[in-house]
Amino acid sequence: MGLFRSKKNNPETIAAHILDTDGSYVTETWSIGRDVNPDVVARYAQSGNLYVVSYYKASKVHRVFCNRACWLHVKAESDWIQTEWPAAAAWLSDKIERVN
């Protein structure tokens, strides 16, 4: 491709896997530079994916970017809490906040 990079090496969008402390999970396509900072993508992207945990503090959404292994660990805890201990969503938010 000459002097220009291909879009494969410099994507304009990225898949964001978002886990909320209420147990919900969505995948969104984010525009790099508009929806997410390119520095965050450079630091946290794995195989074209971002892994995000959202939590709430004082009615404001906070996002933690992490690697896939960490995200899967939080998801497993969240799934267990939603099944076994539904009233613990606030506890999980506090735990995530302490890690951040």
Domain residue ranges in the chain: 13-91
At residue 58, the pLDDT reads: 84
Range 45-51 average pLDDT: 96
Q: What is the pLDDT of residues 1-22, one digit of tens each?
A: 333 344 455 679 999 999 987 7
Q: Which residues of 69-81 are buried (b: 16+ CB within 10 A; e: fewer)?
A: eebeebbebbeeb
> How far apart, in Å, are the Cα atoms of 9 and each of 4, 45, 83?
10, 13, 41
Q: Which residue has the higher pLDDT, 65 or 59?
A: 65
